[in-house]
Structure 1
Amino acid sequence: PAIGDRAFSGDPQRVAEFGVALIQALQTGGIAACGKHFPGHGDTHTDSHFELPRLDHDLDRLRRVELVPFAAAIRAGAASIMTTHVCFTALDAMHPTTLSEAVIEPLLRRELGYDGVVVTDDMEMLAIMGHYGIEEASVRALRAGCDQILICHRAELQAAAYEALVRAVETGELPRARLLQAAARISRMKQRYQPLAARLGALHQQWSDAWAVSSCK
């Protein structure tokens, strides 16, 4: 499978157990954890960096296997969840989860009860860019229920996505309320984990002061 040793185990219960331990350790230390890739990426041999994977698993199978670790992560208070660029044909035969209004809101938000930040996987991956333009994909992702758009490499694509979102709000294609909802979730997460940034800033200042003193000797 494409995920390989990036997963804790092939057993969903063990993945849930280890995943919760990692989430708790990170977040106790002031680091926002992210569970990925919702609702699953472990049973495909197609790498979404290069092509759009498709899986035929129905919802019953997902509840028994793929969703088990995510449900545990949500109960553990995971700060964010990342979507997968995989098309689950039984849920939405046309679009990958990242762009699917039939998956994120009904399954992640309502059934699993998650109200934290939902972030896309990198939108420059060919599972997205090979089938959609960055503008269309970014608007679809926000409309589907994602709160953050991840564009990892090219500044011009980041700018194009931003302009597309502005136009979509102005034309009514993307409700302004959806953006405000996303912004509120991101703001809550930033407020919760802001103390770590402050502590790191203080440590950096102490290091800088110590370096300055040693340089003067």
Structure 2
Amino acid sequence: MISLATYTRMDPAHQAVFSPIVIEDALRRDLGFDGVVISDDLGNAAAVQSMPPAQRALAFLRAGGDLVLTVNAEHIPAMTSAVLNAERDQPTLRAHVEASVRRILAAKTTVGLIHCAN
């Protein structure tokens, strides 16, 4: 789970949850993490209230995150619509989301939440 904190020595311009430097460079490349990257709450957290919910979801995914977490179910339609619409016009985002889906399904399979027929 990626924090809403800002790590000023790594990326002073972005909260960790919206930082490709934190997610892609530090977590994935430097530390070699290839698991599912989940956001901290992008719904009701005070730290993200200045940004519309749809933009929060997109910023997290564009930074390299996989699974958007929100405790506010009312934000889900706006977040989902924004991602689906952006995917249509942005092949890079679409490829990232497809890779995220595969990573999430693999993780669920590994822990027995999904059973694949061989």
Counterpart residue number, 1:192: 110
Residue identity in the other structure for 2:48: I
Equivalence for 1:149: 68
Task: Report which of the two structures shows the higher radius of gyration computed on alpha carbons.
Answer: 1
Normalization by structure 1: what TM-score?
Answer: 0.50
Q: Structure 2 stretches of 5 or more lacking a match?
A: none
Residue 95 of structure 1 corresponds to which residue in structure 2?
Answer: 14
Q: Which amino acid aligns with 1:119?
A: I
Gaps of 5+ in 1: 1-81, 199-217
- Aligned with 1:194: secondary structure? coil
| Aligned counterparts, 1:30-45, within 5 A | none
> Structure 1 runs of 4+ off > 4 angstroms?
none
Q: How much does 1:97 deviate?
A: 0.4
Paired residues, what number? Answer: 114
Secondary structure at the residue paired with 1:135?
helix
Moved more, 94-103 or 168-177: 168-177
1:117–1:186 CA contact under 8 A, matched in 2: yes
TM-score (norm 2): 0.89
Distance (whole Å) between structure 2 residues aligned to residue 153 and residue 133 of structure 1: 13
Q: CA RMSD in A?
A: 1.8
Alpha-carbon distance between aligned partners in 1 of 2:2 and 2:101, rounded to the nearest angstrom? 18
Q: Distance in 2 between matches of 1:174 and 1:157?
A: 24
Q: Displacement, 1:153? A: 2.6
Q: Cα offset for 1:173? A: 7.6
Alignment of 1:67-146 (within 5 A): 82-124=1-43, 125-129=45-49, 131-146=50-65
